[in-house]
Amino acid sequence: MLEGTPLKITFELAAVTTVLLFFVSVPLAFWLSSSRSRIKPVIETLVSMPLVLPPTVLGFYFLLAFSPSNSFGQWLDEWLGIQLIFSFPGLVVASMIYSLPFMVHPIQSGLASLPPSLKEASYLLGKSRTTTLLKILLPNIKSSLLTGIVLSFAHTVGEFGVVLMIGGNIPGETRVASIAIYDQVEALNYGAANYYSMVLFAITFSILLLVYLVNGGYLKKFWK
């Protein structure tokens, strides 16, 4: 092993982000798929913004908002004892927002593709919205859930701009693999850059391949 920490931080960040994001996105996607509220288009737009906005823009505003010299950053620091700038928790928060559409969109379209009568049948059998979501709706959109989880994970692994802006480049704390590659290339250390790159390439390729195999039903014959 050349230097394990940037890779470890990368996958730790991706795992934590994905898990937290999943629990945030399921209710949000459920609301978006069933609501007719007037503010829905605004929320939908906000969720999709990270798709089109340069990550540096996002990072820049995070930097401003979370900075301890700012009132919000100050409040976080004083009341919760959290400093989000140049720290791992800050990276998680920024990554969650940056990967939000990759989790919300598949789940939302999965829920929207179910016939509305499923939900209604469950309500008529006396079940609450939460029970209906957990026992009926989510089990029927497993492939959408898998897609959302994997895309968010892979997308977080591939982050660069946001991480650099808000996390900086602190070895062992916020230096993720994508930044380590940039660093090594700048130092003309191509061997190390190649090592990180190969690992990222191989892992993201395997993850995405697995999703396509599972969702395409290619693996069914092995566990039947």
Residues of this chain that bind another protein (CB under 8 A): 115, 117-118, 120-128, 135-136, 139-140
From residue 153, give the alpha-carbon distance in Å to each of 26, 106, 170, 219.
16, 14, 22, 22
- How far is it, in rounded angstroms, from Cα 112 to Cα 2? 47
Shortest distance (Å) from residue 116 CB to another protein: 9
Shortest distance (Å) from residue 121 CB to another protein: 4
C-beta of 40 vs 135, nearer to another protein: 135
Shortest distance (Å) from residue 4 CB to another protein: 41
| CA angle, residues 156, 58, 159, in degrees to nearest 5 | 20
C-beta of 36 vs 191, nearer to another protein: 36
Angle formed by the axes of helices 190-215 and 5-34, nearest 10°: 30
Shortest distance (Å) from residue 129 CB to another protein: 9
C-beta of 41 vs 116, nearer to another protein: 116
CA–chain centroid gap for 169, Å, is 20
Q: What share of the chain is helix, strand, coil (3-state, %, to 5)?
A: 80, 0, 20
CB atoms within 10 A of CB 224: 5
Shortest distance (Å) from residue 122 CB to another protein: 7
**Amino acid (one-letter) located at 115:** P
C-beta of 101 vs 148, nearer to another protein: 148
Written as six digits, the tokens of 188 are 């003309």
Shortest distance (Å) from residue 146 CB to another protein: 15
C-beta of 45 vs 117, nearer to another protein: 117
CA–chain centroid gap for 176, Å, is 15
